[in-house]
Amino acid sequence: MTITHSLNVFLYSLFPEAEVFGQNPARLVEHLTDFYTFGPYRPTVTIKGEVVEVKIDTKAISSQNAEYNKILQLCEKGQFQQALPRLRQLLAQNPTVSEYHRVLGQVLSETGDQNGAIDALIDALRWDPRNGYALIMLGNIYARHKDDITSANKFYDQALAINPQDFIAINNIGGNLMQLGRAQEAERYFEIAYEIQPKYPNVLYALAMVRQQRRDYTKAFEFALQALRNASSGDPIRRGALALVMQVARQQLEATNTFALADEYQEQLEAATGKEIRVDADERIPTAAKLEVAENYGRAYHQIWFKPSYPAVDHLVMHEMVHLDFMGQARQAGNNLLFTSTGAGKQAFIKAALPQLKKLEKAGYSDANVTGFIESVYEGMMRQLFNAPLDLFIEDFLYQQYEELRPTQFLSLHKLLLEYIESARNKQVATYSPPAVHRANTVLNLVAALHFKDLFGYDLTPEFKASVPDLREAQQLWKEYQEYRVDRQPGEEYELVQHWGKDLGMAAYFELRDEASMRGDLASGRAKTETAATPTEEPNGATSPEDLLAAIERDPLDLDGPVPADARKEPVSYDDSPAGQMAVMFYCLDALKYLAGKTRDQVQEVAFEIGMLGRSGIDPDNRTSKFSLASVPGKSFSSLQLLAWMYTSFQELDPGLDTGLQFAKELALARTMFTEGHG
């Protein structure tokens, strides 16, 4: 088949890319050859006077293409020995096809014949000097098997000259050199590929690895983040990029004194506010970091506490300082607000939660337990409503102003998000929290995840398994935040607190009051029923519902908490009571039978519910009290029976947990009887 074109303006209208070649016939021939190439079959293009002829071997295409594709399939499956004779036969039929020789070179190289592979690849270039794959393969063989980087670079550079825009091939060259430990030579090709396509995730990942080897962790982190941001969900490089982000962030945390950033920032704030800021470690605080505003404690200084054992806590110290910074800016502008809650607001909240309270009471919880739980829910929800919008502005500020802190910031926020996800998907939290509160909590945490995605390119929102309405609500709040984000003025963040409280149905439970007037009222005694809180302070030392639930799981009987005056002082044991041992053993056996075949979540639900009851006190000597469990419907429990069930269920979950119950012998006997009964 022969195609002819007149060498005129019309030809260039058909092939506008070729017009830039001007009067260069050789470049025009190359362009038309590439255009009319079909798979391995390249045409013959010649210019005769004012006519261009393109000869295509359609006979070879129709007769050989099917066999060629079968050979490629064998190679893809690694069946090189089966492919080799068929490939040689194909070459005997048509030795002019460059790609046949190139594939032969690949097969020979894979089977260990590197010298034969070089000969085949040279033949491929004799038939087509512009066969880029053959050039790269030759470079790979000289680099990997001959340890001849000079010759390898000669072929790599020729491939680069033929197609200087093929960033994938260029990146692959760098990858081959990187695998050989030739990071310096590899970086040259990575940089070229990056200049051509700065969003190609593979080259971003490669540049991150190069910077990591140099211990330039800040830059390595940025490249790894870009790779994560640009990799599609199904791209294998995405998983590798995330792992590299985490690894580099930890390396940067270990290698860099990011507390020095906090020291510098602290000095700036002290000068701006005119107050001393003290930053001290304390493992006993309930949260990783905590801010105490001077005015709320009658002090001449602000206090920031942090838990030194907490990962990436230096980021949280910086976070608390930005709270102070923003508060100072709002004060200077005369529009700083305090978050206040009144007794009436709390009562309105409790009234709205009455259906949930009745559900808890019906499940057998004591009045004290129900009251303590709902108060913690209220205070935790109020704290989250106030902090959620402010935290977005704070993290934006830290991200933009402190590039060196970003790896630590990533680790810290990622850890928090994993906790939010656990809370959103935790069945116990969903069961025991009022639905409106659980929804508001989930929505606000989803907004935090959307912000994390915006900053770092990593989307964790699918992990929440949230409903479509909750996700839609979170996206609406996120959109509103973005409108404020561009040019936030001091104190404007409080507007979002008010708007989001209204949107989430929580506006009736709190107020935002002008700080100057509020402190005047407090000083004069006109606001005795109100509680003023700053962003990260813990009103009344309360913990969030999910924190309370986690605490129960860690310490079912509140052994680490304050001991009531009438509390039992010694561990529960029946070593000196055979009858007691027998009773406990049968109760444990009963529990084992019930828990057999249950999932870990179901076992945890039983243990957790008994743990809730245990924190308000279960006296094993009480023979009259009866308990019921929502997780074990239709069954009534005595005090001792309930303790035996709790011990058994927690032992199933974590044998090392100290429940204060010494029922090991009884449980061991029960397990023996259970095994024999099911043998």
Asked if residue 451 lies in contact with residue 484, where contact means CB atoms within 8 angstroms, the answer is no
Query: What is the pLDDT at residue 470?
Result: 95
37/43 Cα distance (integer angstroms): 6
- The pLDDT assigned to 23 comes to 59
Q: Kindly list the structural domains of the chain, giving each domain's residue range(s) and its CATH number in brackets, ordered by start.
A: 2-56 (no CATH), 164-256 (1.25.40.10), 336-546 (no CATH), 566-677 (no CATH)
Q: For 99-114, how does the pLDDT look when each residue is reduced to its tens digit (9 = 90+)? A: 888 999 999 999 999 9
Kindly report which listed range (33-47, 194-208, 495-509) carries the lowest average pLDDT score.
33-47
What lies within 8 Å, CB to CB, of 505 at 6+ separation is 436, 440
Q: What pLDDT does 674 receive?
A: 81
Q: What is the mean pLDDT of residues 628-645?
A: 85
Q: Measured between alpha carbons, how far is 435 from 548 in angstroms, rounded to an integer?
A: 17
* Per-residue model confidence (pLDDT) at position 521: 59
Output 584 or 557, whichever has higher pLDDT: 584
| DSSP bridge pairs for 340 | 511, 532
Question: Tens digit of pLDDT for each residue in 347-393?
Answer: 888 888 888 777 777 766 667 667 777 777 888 888 889 999 999 99
| Higher local confidence (pLDDT), 465 or 13 | 465
Q: Looking at mean pLDDT, say which of 6-15, 58-67, 202-211, 422-431 comes out highest.
A: 202-211
The DSSP output letter for 641 is: H
- 520: pLDDT confidence band, cut at 50, 70 and 90? low
Compare 116 and 564 and report the one with higher pLDDT: 116
From the DSSP assignment, how many helices (H) and strands (E) are in the chain? 30, 13
Neighbours of 297 (CB within 10 A): 12
- Per residue in 308-322, pLDDT (tens digit) is 888 888 899 999 999
Q: What is the pLDDT of residue 529?
A: 41
Q: Using 50, 70 and 90 to split pLDDT, how confident is the model at 445?
A: very high
The predicted structure's pLDDT at residue 394: 96
The pLDDT value given to residue 583? 75
CA atoms within 13 A on the CB side of 165: 0
pTM value surpassing 0.85: no
Please give the average per-residue pLDDT across 506-519, as a whole number: 84
Q: Kindly report, residue by residue over 67-77, the tens digit of the pLDDT.
A: 888 988 998 88
User: Considering only 127-141, 353-367, 372-386, 529-543, which range has the smallest mean pLDDT?
Assistant: 529-543
**Among 220-229, 299-308, 528-537, which stretch is predicted with the lowest mean pLDDT?**
528-537
pLDDT of residue 207: 95
Give tens-digit pLDDT for 213-260. 989 998 999 999 999 999 987 788 888 999 999 999 999 888 877 778
Residue 546: which pLDDT band, with cuts at 50, 70 and 90? Answer: very low
pLDDT at 471 over 60: yes
Q: Quick one: CA dihedral 444, 450, 454, 460, positive or negative? A: positive
Reply yes or no on whether the pLDDT at 293 is more than 80. yes
In this predicted structure, the answer to whether residue 417 has a pLDDT above a threshold of 60 is yes
CA distance 647 to 213: 51
Read off the amino acid at residue 409. Q
Q: Tell me: pLDDT of 303 over 60.
A: yes
Tell me which of 387 and 613 has the higher pLDDT: 387
What was the pLDDT predicted at 663? 86
User: Could you report how far apart the first and last alpha carbons of the chain are, in Å?
Assistant: 81
- For residues 405 and 259, give the distance between their C-alpha atoms in angstroms, rounded to a whole number: 10
Least confident of 347-356, 433-442, 490-499: 347-356
Q: pLDDT tens-digit profile of 152-186?
A: 888 888 888 888 888 888 888 888 788 878 888 88
| 563-586 mean pLDDT | 57
Whether the per-residue pLDDT at 544 is higher than 80: the answer is no
Q: Is the pLDDT of residue 450 over 80?
A: yes
pLDDT at position 543, please? 43
Is residue 553 pLDDT above 80, yes or no?
Answer: no
Question: Using only C-alpha atoms, what is the Rg of the chain?
Answer: 35
Three-state secondary-structure class, residue 309: coil
Name the residue with tokens 């056996």.
589
Angstrom distance (rounded) from CA 39 to CA 103: 12
Chain centroid to CA 587: 43
